Protein backbone atom coordinates (compact mmCIF):
# COMPACT_ATOMS: atom_id res chain seq x y z
CA UNK A 1 0.00 0.00 0.00
CA UNK A 2 2.70 2.48 1.02
CA UNK A 3 4.84 1.50 -1.97
CA UNK A 4 1.89 2.11 -4.32
CA UNK A 5 1.26 5.55 -2.84
CA UNK A 6 4.93 6.49 -3.17
CA UNK A 7 5.02 5.22 -6.77
CA UNK A 8 1.89 7.21 -7.62
CA UNK A 9 3.34 10.36 -6.05
CA UNK A 10 6.54 9.96 -8.07
CA UNK A 11 4.49 9.60 -11.25
CA UNK A 12 2.66 12.83 -10.48
CA UNK A 13 5.94 14.66 -9.84
CA UNK A 14 7.54 13.36 -13.05
CA UNK A 15 4.46 14.13 -15.17
CA UNK A 16 4.57 17.76 -14.05
CA UNK A 17 7.61 18.28 -16.25
CA UNK A 18 5.35 17.96 -19.32
CA UNK A 19 2.64 20.36 -18.16
CA UNK A 20 2.37 23.84 -19.65
CA UNK A 21 4.54 25.88 -21.96
CA UNK A 22 4.87 28.90 -19.70
CA UNK A 23 8.04 28.41 -17.69
CA UNK A 24 6.85 30.77 -14.97
CA UNK A 25 3.52 28.97 -14.60
CA UNK A 26 5.38 25.65 -14.55
CA UNK A 27 7.61 27.04 -11.80
CA UNK A 28 4.51 27.91 -9.78
CA UNK A 29 3.17 24.35 -10.21
CA UNK A 30 6.51 22.85 -9.14
CA UNK A 31 6.46 25.04 -6.03
CA UNK A 32 2.92 23.93 -5.12
CA UNK A 33 4.03 20.28 -5.25
CA UNK A 34 7.10 21.21 -3.22
CA UNK A 35 4.84 22.68 -0.55
CA UNK A 36 2.76 19.51 -0.34
CA UNK A 37 5.91 17.46 0.14
CA UNK A 38 7.18 19.68 2.94
CA UNK A 39 3.78 19.65 4.70
CA UNK A 40 3.98 15.85 4.69
CA UNK A 41 7.43 16.14 6.30
CA UNK A 42 6.02 18.47 8.96
CA UNK A 43 3.18 16.09 9.77
CA UNK A 44 5.45 13.07 10.25
CA UNK A 45 8.03 14.95 12.34
CA UNK A 46 5.25 16.32 14.53
CA UNK A 47 3.82 12.82 14.91
CA UNK A 48 7.19 11.46 16.07
CA UNK A 49 7.55 14.29 18.59
CA UNK A 50 10.43 13.79 21.03
CA UNK A 51 10.54 10.00 20.74
CA UNK A 52 13.73 10.45 18.73
CA UNK A 53 16.03 13.41 19.63
CA UNK A 54 15.69 16.23 17.04
CA UNK A 55 19.37 16.08 16.02
CA UNK A 56 19.16 12.32 15.47
CA UNK A 57 15.90 12.63 13.54
CA UNK A 58 17.51 15.21 11.27
CA UNK A 59 20.55 13.00 10.68
CA UNK A 60 18.48 9.87 9.96
CA UNK A 61 16.30 11.86 7.56
CA UNK A 62 19.35 12.61 5.38
CA UNK A 63 21.06 9.26 5.95
CA UNK A 64 17.96 7.41 4.76
CA UNK A 65 17.63 9.95 1.98
CA UNK A 66 20.83 8.55 0.46
CA UNK A 67 18.66 5.70 -0.84
CA UNK A 68 16.90 8.08 -3.21
CA UNK A 69 20.10 9.52 -4.64
CA UNK A 70 21.90 6.17 -5.01
CA UNK A 71 21.01 5.91 -8.74
CA UNK A 72 22.61 9.34 -9.23
CA UNK A 73 25.96 8.55 -7.60
CA UNK A 74 27.59 7.43 -10.87
CA UNK A 75 26.74 10.78 -12.48
CA UNK A 76 27.80 12.53 -9.29
CA UNK A 77 31.29 11.05 -9.31
CA UNK A 78 31.63 11.76 -13.03
CA UNK A 79 30.67 15.40 -12.62
CA UNK A 80 33.63 17.78 -12.52
CA UNK A 81 32.72 20.38 -9.93
CA UNK A 82 34.66 23.63 -10.08
CA UNK A 83 36.47 24.95 -7.02
CA UNK A 84 33.90 27.74 -6.70
CA UNK A 85 31.03 25.25 -6.82
CA UNK A 86 32.60 23.09 -4.12
CA UNK A 87 33.07 26.14 -1.90
CA UNK A 88 29.46 27.22 -2.47
CA UNK A 89 28.17 23.73 -1.67
CA UNK A 90 30.33 23.64 1.45
CA UNK A 91 28.93 26.97 2.66
CA UNK A 92 25.41 25.84 1.83
CA UNK A 93 25.96 22.62 3.76
CA UNK A 94 27.02 24.50 6.89
CA UNK A 95 24.06 26.89 6.87
CA UNK A 96 21.52 24.25 5.89
CA UNK A 97 22.79 21.95 8.65
CA UNK A 98 22.22 24.69 11.23
CA UNK A 99 18.79 25.44 9.79
CA UNK A 100 17.70 21.79 9.79
CA UNK A 101 18.84 21.23 13.38
CA UNK A 102 16.92 24.29 14.57
CA UNK A 103 13.83 23.34 12.55
CA UNK A 104 13.63 19.83 13.97
CA UNK A 105 14.06 21.27 17.47
CA UNK A 106 11.35 23.90 16.90
CA UNK A 107 8.90 21.21 15.81
CA UNK A 108 9.11 19.70 19.30
CA UNK A 109 8.57 23.03 21.06
CA UNK A 110 5.88 25.02 19.19
CA UNK A 111 2.81 24.29 17.05
CA UNK A 112 2.83 23.38 13.35
CA UNK A 113 1.12 26.69 12.51
CA UNK A 114 3.79 28.66 14.38
CA UNK A 115 6.65 26.79 12.70
CA UNK A 116 5.09 27.26 9.27
CA UNK A 117 4.20 30.89 9.90
CA UNK A 118 7.69 31.85 11.06
CA UNK A 119 9.12 29.91 8.13
CA UNK A 120 7.36 32.38 5.82
CA UNK A 121 9.95 34.95 6.69
CA UNK A 122 12.25 32.83 4.49
CA UNK A 123 10.48 33.41 1.15
CA UNK A 124 10.09 37.10 1.97
CA UNK A 125 13.81 37.44 2.73
CA UNK A 126 14.62 35.24 -0.26
CA UNK A 127 12.53 37.23 -2.75
CA UNK A 128 14.10 40.54 -1.85
CA UNK A 129 17.58 39.03 -1.48
CA UNK A 130 17.26 37.64 -5.00
CA UNK A 131 16.57 41.15 -6.26
CA UNK A 132 19.47 42.73 -4.34
CA UNK A 133 22.06 39.95 -4.76
CA UNK A 134 21.07 37.96 -7.87
CA UNK A 135 19.74 40.94 -9.81
CA UNK A 136 16.31 39.43 -10.55
CA UNK A 137 13.57 41.75 -11.79
CA UNK A 138 10.47 42.45 -9.70
CA UNK A 139 7.41 43.22 -11.81
CA UNK A 140 4.38 45.02 -10.41
CA UNK A 141 2.23 41.87 -10.43
CA UNK A 142 4.86 39.84 -8.57
CA UNK A 143 5.32 42.62 -6.04
CA UNK A 144 1.56 42.72 -5.54
CA UNK A 145 1.38 38.94 -5.12
CA UNK A 146 4.15 38.98 -2.49
CA UNK A 147 2.49 41.86 -0.65
CA UNK A 148 -0.95 40.22 -0.60
CA UNK A 149 0.48 36.87 0.49
CA UNK A 150 2.45 38.56 3.26
CA UNK A 151 -0.68 40.42 4.34
CA UNK A 152 -2.52 37.13 4.61
CA UNK A 153 0.29 35.69 6.73
CA UNK A 154 0.20 38.76 9.00
CA UNK A 155 -3.54 38.33 9.53
CA UNK A 156 -2.91 34.77 10.65
CA UNK A 157 0.00 35.74 12.89
CA UNK A 158 -1.64 38.96 14.20
CA UNK A 159 1.62 40.66 15.22
CA UNK A 160 1.63 41.83 18.82
CA UNK A 161 3.07 40.91 22.17
CA UNK A 162 3.98 37.24 22.25
CA UNK A 163 6.01 35.20 24.67
CA UNK A 164 9.08 33.94 22.86
CA UNK A 165 10.23 30.40 23.56
CA UNK A 166 13.40 28.64 22.50
CA UNK A 167 11.33 27.15 19.68
CA UNK A 168 10.58 30.62 18.27
CA UNK A 169 14.23 31.63 18.52
CA UNK A 170 15.29 28.40 16.82
CA UNK A 171 12.95 29.17 13.93
CA UNK A 172 14.49 32.62 13.52
CA UNK A 173 17.90 30.96 13.13
CA UNK A 174 16.33 28.55 10.63
CA UNK A 175 14.94 31.42 8.57
CA UNK A 176 18.33 33.12 8.19
CA UNK A 177 20.13 29.83 7.51
CA UNK A 178 17.65 28.65 4.87
CA UNK A 179 17.64 32.04 3.13
CA UNK A 180 21.40 31.80 2.61
CA UNK A 181 21.12 28.15 1.55
CA UNK A 182 18.41 28.80 -1.04
CA UNK A 183 20.25 31.79 -2.48
CA UNK A 184 23.26 29.54 -3.09
CA UNK A 185 20.97 26.90 -4.63
CA UNK A 186 19.55 29.49 -7.01
CA UNK A 187 23.05 30.65 -7.93
CA UNK A 188 24.22 27.18 -9.00
CA UNK A 189 21.03 26.14 -10.83
CA UNK A 190 22.38 27.57 -14.06
CA UNK A 191 25.50 25.40 -13.87
CA UNK A 192 24.29 22.01 -12.59
CA UNK A 193 21.10 20.02 -12.94
CA UNK A 194 18.59 19.57 -10.13
CA UNK A 195 19.68 15.98 -9.47
CA UNK A 196 23.31 16.95 -8.76
CA UNK A 197 22.28 19.83 -6.51
CA UNK A 198 20.03 17.56 -4.44
CA UNK A 199 22.71 14.87 -4.32
CA UNK A 200 25.30 17.31 -3.01
CA UNK A 201 22.85 18.69 -0.42
CA UNK A 202 22.00 15.21 0.87
CA UNK A 203 25.65 14.20 1.18
CA UNK A 204 26.80 17.42 2.88
CA UNK A 205 23.86 17.37 5.31
CA UNK A 206 24.46 13.72 6.23
CA UNK A 207 28.08 14.52 7.07
CA UNK A 208 27.24 17.79 8.81
CA UNK A 209 24.49 16.34 11.03
CA UNK A 210 26.43 13.23 12.09
CA UNK A 211 28.39 14.80 15.01
CA UNK A 212 25.22 16.31 16.53
CA UNK A 213 23.35 13.00 16.22
CA UNK A 214 26.10 10.96 17.89
CA UNK A 215 25.92 13.08 21.04
CA UNK A 216 22.22 12.31 21.66
CA UNK A 217 21.95 8.91 19.96
CA UNK A 218 19.32 6.39 21.03
CA UNK A 219 18.49 3.13 19.25
CA UNK A 220 15.37 3.78 17.09
CA UNK A 221 12.62 1.20 16.65
CA UNK A 222 11.68 -0.22 13.25
CA UNK A 223 8.49 1.85 13.27
CA UNK A 224 10.45 5.04 13.92
CA UNK A 225 12.85 4.17 11.11
CA UNK A 226 9.89 3.64 8.79
CA UNK A 227 8.45 7.07 9.55
CA UNK A 228 11.85 8.71 9.20
CA UNK A 229 12.25 6.96 5.85
CA UNK A 230 9.01 8.63 4.73
CA UNK A 231 10.38 11.95 6.00
CA UNK A 232 13.44 11.37 3.84
CA UNK A 233 11.29 10.54 0.82
CA UNK A 234 9.01 13.57 1.03
CA UNK A 235 11.86 15.93 1.96
CA UNK A 236 13.99 14.73 -0.98
CA UNK A 237 11.02 15.08 -3.32
CA UNK A 238 10.33 18.55 -1.90
CA UNK A 239 13.88 19.77 -2.51
CA UNK A 240 13.83 18.28 -6.00
CA UNK A 241 10.57 19.98 -6.98
CA UNK A 242 11.70 23.25 -5.40
CA UNK A 243 14.92 23.12 -7.43
CA UNK A 244 12.84 22.47 -10.57
CA UNK A 245 10.81 25.57 -9.67
CA UNK A 246 14.06 27.57 -9.46
CA UNK A 247 14.97 26.32 -12.93
CA UNK A 248 11.59 27.23 -14.40
CA UNK A 249 10.98 30.70 -12.98
CA UNK A 250 12.50 33.56 -10.98
CA UNK A 251 12.41 33.31 -7.20
CA UNK A 252 10.14 36.37 -7.03
CA UNK A 253 7.50 34.49 -9.08
CA UNK A 254 7.55 31.19 -7.17
CA UNK A 255 7.90 32.31 -3.56
CA UNK A 256 4.33 33.66 -3.04
CA UNK A 257 3.08 30.12 -3.74
CA UNK A 258 4.81 28.82 -0.62
CA UNK A 259 2.32 30.71 1.55
CA UNK A 260 -0.21 27.98 0.70
CA UNK A 261 1.72 25.69 3.04
CA UNK A 262 0.41 27.72 5.97
CA UNK A 263 -3.17 26.86 5.05
CA UNK A 264 -2.39 23.15 4.73
CA UNK A 265 -0.25 23.07 7.88
CA UNK A 266 -2.91 24.84 9.96
CA UNK A 267 -5.58 22.39 8.83
CA UNK A 268 -3.21 19.52 9.56
CA UNK A 269 -2.50 20.73 13.08
CA UNK A 270 -6.20 21.21 13.81
CA UNK A 271 -7.51 17.95 12.37
CA UNK A 272 -4.80 15.55 13.52
CA UNK A 273 -2.97 17.16 16.46
CA UNK A 274 -5.75 19.11 18.17
CA UNK A 275 -4.07 22.49 17.70
CA UNK A 276 -6.45 25.49 17.87
CA UNK A 277 -7.57 27.42 14.79
CA UNK A 278 -9.70 30.55 14.45
CA UNK A 279 -11.46 32.66 11.80
CA UNK A 280 -8.39 34.84 11.33
CA UNK A 281 -6.52 31.81 10.02
CA UNK A 282 -9.32 31.02 7.56
CA UNK A 283 -9.52 34.67 6.43
CA UNK A 284 -5.77 34.98 6.03
CA UNK A 285 -5.62 31.68 4.18
CA UNK A 286 -8.30 32.86 1.75
CA UNK A 287 -6.26 35.97 0.99
CA UNK A 288 -3.17 33.85 0.41
CA UNK A 289 -5.01 31.56 -2.00
CA UNK A 290 -6.35 34.64 -3.80
CA UNK A 291 -2.84 36.06 -4.25
CA UNK A 292 -1.51 32.79 -5.66
CA UNK A 293 -4.49 32.48 -8.01
CA UNK A 294 -3.96 36.05 -9.19
CA UNK A 295 -0.27 35.43 -9.84
CA UNK A 296 -0.92 32.26 -11.85
CA UNK A 297 -3.69 33.96 -13.87
CA UNK A 298 -1.54 36.98 -14.68
CA UNK A 299 1.37 34.78 -15.77
CA UNK A 300 -0.91 32.88 -18.18
CA UNK A 301 -2.26 36.13 -19.61
CA UNK A 302 1.29 37.46 -19.99
CA UNK A 303 2.43 34.28 -21.74
CA UNK A 304 -0.52 34.24 -24.17
CA UNK A 305 -0.04 37.92 -24.97
CA UNK A 306 3.64 37.44 -25.75
CA UNK A 307 2.92 34.40 -27.90
CA UNK A 308 0.44 36.37 -30.00
CA UNK A 309 2.88 39.26 -30.41
CA UNK A 310 5.62 36.95 -31.75
CA UNK A 311 3.43 35.43 -34.48
Structural domain boundaries in the chain: 22-309
The confidence score (pLDDT) of residue 212 equals 93
Rounded to an integer, what distance in angstroms lies between the CA atom of residue 149 and that of residue 141? Answer: 12
Phi, psi (rounded to 5 degrees) for 49: 60, -130
The confidence score (pLDDT) of residue 94 equals 95
| Per-residue CA distances from 310 to 21, 68, 94, 249, 301 (Å) | 15, 42, 46, 20, 14
| Per-residue CA distances from 272 to 230, 266, 267, 286 (Å) | 18, 10, 8, 21
Rounded to an integer, what distance in angstroms lies between the CA atom of residue 73 and that of residue 67? Answer: 10
- Spans of the chain below 70 pLDDT: 1-23, 123-124, 127-128, 131, 134-139, 156-164, 250-253, 255-256, 258-259, 278, 281-282, 285, 289, 292-311
Rounded to an integer, what distance in angstroms lies between the CA atom of residue 198 and that of residue 214? Answer: 24
Rounded to an integer, what distance in angstroms lies between the CA atom of residue 81 and that of residue 212? Answer: 28
Note if the pTM is more than 0.75. Answer: no
- Which residues contact residue 253 at a Cβ distance below 8 angstroms, ignoring those fewer than 6 apart? 24, 27, 28, 142, 295, 299
Phi, psi (rounded to 5 degrees) for 274: 65, 25
The confidence score (pLDDT) of residue 306 equals 64
Amino acid sequence: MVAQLITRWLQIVINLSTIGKSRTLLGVIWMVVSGLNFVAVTAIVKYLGTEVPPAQSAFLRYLLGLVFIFPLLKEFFQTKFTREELILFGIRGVFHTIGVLCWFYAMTEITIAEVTSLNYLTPVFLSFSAILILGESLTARRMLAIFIALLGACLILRPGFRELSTGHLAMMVTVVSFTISYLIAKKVTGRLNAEMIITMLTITLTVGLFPAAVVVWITPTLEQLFWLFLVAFFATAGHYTMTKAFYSAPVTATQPVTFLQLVWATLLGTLFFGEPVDLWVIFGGTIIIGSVTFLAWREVVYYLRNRKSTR
